[in-house]
Structure 1
Amino acid sequence: MRAARVLAARVLTAQVLAAQVLAAQRTAARRTATRRTAARRVGPVMAAVVAGLGTMAATTGCGAARVTPVAYVSSTPSLAWKACEETASASGFECATLQVPLDYAEPEGKKIGIALVRLRATDPSRRIGSLVFNFGGPGGSGVTTLINAAHAFSTLNTRYDLVGFDPRGVERSSGIRCLTGPQMDQYMSEEPSDDTATETKLVTGFAQACERNAGWILPYVGTVNAARDMEMLRTALGEPHLNYFGFSYGTHLGAVYATQFPKKVGRMVLDSAVDPSVSMLEMAKTQTLGFQKAYEDYLADCAKTRTSCPLGATPAEANATVLKLLDTLARTPGKVGSRTVTEDIARAGITQALYSKLTWPLLTEALDEGRKGKLDGLLALADQYAGRQPNGTYSTLQFSLPSVLCVDSTDRPSVAQAKELARQLEKKSPIFASTAISAGSCSVWPVRGNDAARHVDATGSNPILVVGVTNDPATPYQWAPRLAEQLRTAVLLTLNGEGHGAYGQDQCIDEKVNAYLLEGTVPPNGTRCG
């Protein structure tokens, strides 16, 4: 897998889970009534996002990422809310742009615009304030996602204005774009090379394209600066404290905000927690094994709970079917129209469908069709995973994601080290082991990193609710208690279950999260649901 795509496996959330529902729509006309019901039962947060997901000279060489002390901004930013142009068919959404410093070391210097969206509280007489969301990535569009996901948070919307934003470097907020659509198609279809020099050349070319086309913003897109943007957003909204709901990467952003501004934390929920202290290689290993566990659970479910699993009567038989399909594509890539479907693209489609147990039937259908030569389903899943639009363009996700990850850390394992890790994982996880190669991507990134975002401590803040799912493949469960411990002021809430993201999957989780955000009721530390 190409590094930019694989890095997305770190922290994708509702933004990417929407793709599973989009794939379900694609095949709805051919699905049985039972399968249609299963597709509609995808958790509210996931199903709700079904429709979602500069010209300055480039900076030079490997300049250090800009992480500076918070500087004084001379005036309170103002917001001019107006009806969102892209929601003509929807009612109630307002959009605005928040002007923030490109470089917080020069607060009166060049500004960039942060795109915002808001849906006002439906019960103004009981309004608490604003609830700001980040749905993950790094690189997911909070504007697009909230527009499509708002009804999943209708209970919270009774008393909160729901607010989403595109973080700096994402989509409408000076979104980073490194390659054109056709160039990305070619890049995404490349298979990992056994030759380290060839692999390094490919990821270096991607990094150089990012520097060439978006170098002016690359040093400024890290999580520390994004947290400072959220503090300016809090001020512009007129809120005394920041009430915040972060998913996946959004938990990292929330943790960094709470570290920088502990006294400004209101009610904060961090769902599908990220441990910011893990190394690139540790992250790659943990996620590879996490997706392998989800894949094995999927195979067992297909063989055990389905009336008949078309892939095989046992998990071993079903696995053999999948491996045979991938081997066939490795030797002879398939075609969907003018597009080529490689083993790597099929692997991305499989990964995409493993984010939620409720979308496993879609994977079964895509694999069953794939082994018969019809690869539309796997390609559709892979496209959604990559952020590829029907018109052949890509969202900024694949570009902003590595930009943020590499700025947020000084950890720079080489491509050779990452390839060695992939080799070690091959026996345990033959399908997903190659994704570990992504751990070497930052070694060739044109901007040096800074470790400020890797150290979190919210001492002095209000209680923070950290939520983890025991069988989460993308942000493995062990990261949740680790994040809670590092924050010092957090309590841990656990869902015993499958999938990426707890809210919207389980009534017990929803009740406890809602009680905390709406009433301030903090559940006992260590509470479990499911």
Structure 2
Amino acid sequence: MIRLLTVLAAVLVLGGSACSLPGQDSEPLQPHTERNGPTGPVPPGLDRFYGQELSWGPCETYATTAQDRPLYQDPGLECARLEVPMDYAAPDGETVQLGLLRKPATGGDERIGSLVLNPGGPGASGMSAAASMAGQDAELADRFDMVGFDPRGVGASEPQVHCLTGPERDADRLDSDADSSPSGVARSEQEEREYAGKCAERTGPELLANVGTRDVARDLDVLRSALGDDKLSYLGFSYGTRIGSEYAQQFAGNVRALLLDGAIDPGQSTVDQLVAQGAGFQRAFDDFAAWCAEQDDCALGRDPSAAVTRFQELTRPLVEQPASAMQDRRLSYEDATTAAIQALYAPSLWEQLNTGLHELRAGSGNLLLTLADVYYGREPDGRYSNTTDAFDAVHCVDDQRVHDPDEVRAADRRYREAAPFLDDGNPPSAARDMCSFWPVPVTGDPSQPDVSGLPPTLVVSTTGDPATPYRAGQELADALGGGLLTYEGTQHTVFLQGNSCVDEAGRDYLIDLELPEPGQRCN
């Protein structure tokens, strides 16, 4: 049973270089209330949402993870909640409260407006990303309020998507579901059916039915108006590009600028996206193997062509016998491969992966388990962020569901062929994932955006992006009729991560709306 990978490492990479508080020398911002809307067109029946007040104040109480707590103590940040309808077809019914975090612009009269961002997932916190990124580019900080929001169901937004407790998630990670026999398939599908039931029971079917990207884009337009911006300036990474393209589809006339980095192709089928992602991680693994072979202590040996086999020799035994690890925990096959995937998002993590594989060869799963914990958002006390729960909930209402067992088996076979380093050695499985048992219908529309009246947009795509392949960026740029900036490298997303060529081009676009020259490439 193969699932799409949670495309959230953008926030981990972006956040990793900004652990120092970006505004720690700022004068404390005073709590205050603003009413800036309604601004721009207001859909019928939504006046009170588009014109609502925002009460800004300190951010400490909005932190939901240990990583966020020190970031949110920055006195130069302010937080608020935005109220949106649970169901836009029934705006007088229940509502959702979205968490907002803002770093106000420092440029006075030079301020352009708000730059709203989303870092990926689905399920990653835009508030956390904004807190991490707020001080990374002085010119953008001068000209824009940097605004991050936690999408409905995510992070500090209320109510949250909630499926598993911490101990239940730990147990789920230990179960590799590798048995593809009829009895193994039946057992896996029963677990998936139970998982979907827990999500419905603990989250509520109404939020599950309205947690998809269709509704996040509508929330984004409410946010635009409440912030007082006639037009939206938006920066989306990874899955955040899907929010951006959906916004363009619904609200093309309300766009000022869309910069989309690490694009998801919204017109690609679930299976094709899965296989393309597998191929992307295999290319990243091959690049890692080539780098590793040049080191004095490569855990996979000095022959890159043998790296897949050596990786399989290290990890496949974990299917039957997990390795010992810290705090009386164990490293499963799933966790070992998840750790490798986490490390393949960026070359800066390759040394940790090599060390972790050396440890595994010696019988210890400590470092690989730590990498997997980062991927899943596991706290030191055993609690988890709700990133994985939210990812599953959004994926199950956004994307096509594959119900036919033969199609599922064929998809598994294609995935193993695309990413042999992730092949557990068992025959392809016909086990359906949790989405086949999801209690609410699909709300997404898997098609390329068909827009008119959209101003120029900019897509940044990386040739060796493991999670969102380069071709998806080309396809999205064509569909939006905008510019494409190519970065030649092996990592997931690149804007505002220290590449001066990419950063300058993106900055020029966001501030002056100037696209890079056609065909421009950075390395």
Equivalenced residue count is: 481
Structure 2: 5+ residue stretches without partners: 22-41, 64-70
Q: 1:508 aligns with which of 493, 501, 504?
A: 501
Deviation at 1:409, TM superposition (A): 3.0
1:181 corresponds to which residue? 166
Using the TM superposition, give the Cα deviation of residue 368 of structure 1 relative to its aligned residue in structure 2, in angstroms. Answer: 1.1
Q: Residue 315 of structure 2 corresponds to which residue in structure 1?
A: 326
Q: Which runs of 5+ in 1 are unaligned?
A: 19-43, 52-68
**Would the aligned equivalents of 2:409 and 2:429 in 1 still touch at CA under 8 Å?**
yes
Given that 1:80 and 1:97 are in contact with CA atoms closer than 8 Å, whether structure 2 keeps it comes out as: yes
| Aligned ranges 1:285-434 → 2 under 5 Å | 285-304=275-294, 306-336=295-325, 337-414=327-404, 417-427=407-417, 429-433=419-423
Letter matched to residue 161 of structure 2: I
**C-alpha separation between the residues in 2 aligned to 1:49 and 1:400?**
25
Please state how far the C-alpha of 1:290 moved relative to its aligned partner: 1.1
Return the offset for 1:268. Answer: 1.2
TM-score, length basis structure 2 = 0.87
| Maintained 8 Å contact 1:114/1:165 | yes
Structure-2 residue corresponding to 1:78: 53
Counterpart residue number, 1:452: 445
Moved more, 164-173 or 450-459: 450-459
- The 5-angstrom pairing of residues 238-317 of structure 1 reads 238-304=228-294, 306-317=295-306
TM-score using structure 1 length: 0.86
* Aligned-CA RMSD value: 2.3
Q: In 1, Cα distance between the equivalents of 2:221 and 2:131? A: 22
Checking the alignment, whether the CA contact within 8 Å between 2:262 and 2:492 is kept in structure 1 is: yes
Task: Report the equivalent of 1:66.
Answer: none
Residue pair 2:214, 2:443 contacting (<8 A) in 1 also = no
| Cα distance between partner residues in 1 of 2:404 and 2:390 | 21
Q: Aligned match of 2:190 in 181, 194, 201? A: 201
* Distance in 1 between residues matched to 2:225 and 2:8, nearest whole Å: 28
- For residue 315 of structure 2, what is the amino acid of its counterpart? L
1:129-174, Cα deviation, whole Å (9 max, x unpaired): 1100000011101112222332234431121110000000112212
Counterpart residue number, 2:510: 517
**Residue pair 1:171, 1:396 contacting (<8 A) in 2 also:** yes
Structure 1 distance, partners of 2:285, 2:337, is 11
CA contact (8 A) 1:409 1:454 kept: no
Query: Structure 1 residues 415, 474: CA separation in 2 closer, same or farther (over 3 Å shift)?
Result: farther
CA drift at 1:45: 5.8
Distance (Å, rounded) in 1 between the aligned partners of 2:261 and 2:421: 27
CA distance in 1, matches of 2:140, 2:403: 42
Q: Which residue of 1 aligns with 2:216?
A: 226
Q: Give yes or no for the alignment of 1:115 onto 2:104.
A: no
1:35 — aligned with what? Answer: none
Letter in 1 for 2:289: L
Q: Give the superposition deviation at 1:77.
A: 1.7
Query: What is the letter of the counterpart of residue 175 of structure 1?
Result: Q
Q: Is the 8 A contact 1:71 1:105 kept in 2?
A: no
What is the letter of the counterpart of residue 180 of structure 1?
T
Q: Is the contact between residue 185 and residue 431 of structure 2 (CA under 8 Å) also seen in structure 1?
A: no
Match of 1:73, as an amino acid?
Answer: L
> Which of 465, 472, 477 is matched with 1:472 structurally?
465
Instruction: Indicate how the Cα distance of structure 1 residues 88 and 447 shifts in structure 2: closer, same or farther if over 3 A, else same.
Output: closer
Q: Partner amino acid for 2:199?
A: C
Q: Distance in 2 between matches of 1:169 and 1:416?
A: 33
Q: Corresponding residue for 2:29?
A: none
CA distance in structure 1 between the partners assigned to 2:96 and 2:364 by the alignment: 45
Q: Using a 3 Å threshold, how does the CA distance of structure 1 residues 88 and 517 change in structure 2: closer, same or farther?
A: closer
